[in-house]
Amino acid sequence: MGLKRDVSLSSALGYKGQGPYLTYILHRIGGSALFIFFTVYILSLVGVDSMQALMSNWIFQIIVLVFGLFHAINGLRITILDLSPKLIEHFRTAINIEWVAYVLVAGFAVFVVLQNAMGG
Helix axes of 91-117 and 18-46: crossing angle, nearest 10 degrees: 40
Which amino acid would we find at residue 93? T
Alpha helix positions (H), 47-57: 49-55
- Residue pair 55/96 in contact (Cβ under 8 Å)? The answer is no
Q: How confident is the model at residue 12 (pLDDT cuts 50, 70, 90)?
A: low
pLDDT computed for residue 18 by the predictor: 76
pTM for this model (two decimals): 0.82
HSE-CB of 43 using CA atoms within 13 angstroms: 14
Higher pLDDT, 54 or 14: 54
Coil, strand, or helix at residue 69?
Answer: helix
Q: How confident is the model at residue 112 (pLDDT cuts 50, 70, 90)?
A: very high
Question: What domains can you pick out in the chain, each with its CATH number?
Answer: 19-117 (1.20.1300.10)
- Cα dihedral 39, 64, 9, 18, rounded to 10, equals 140
pLDDT computed for residue 21 by the predictor: 84
pLDDT computed for residue 3 by the predictor: 65
- With CA atoms as reference, report the closest residue to 42 among 51, 53, 54, 34: 51
Positive or negative, the CA dihedral 97, 98, 99, 100 is: positive
Higher pLDDT, 19 or 105: 105
> Has residue 1 got a pLDDT over 60?
no
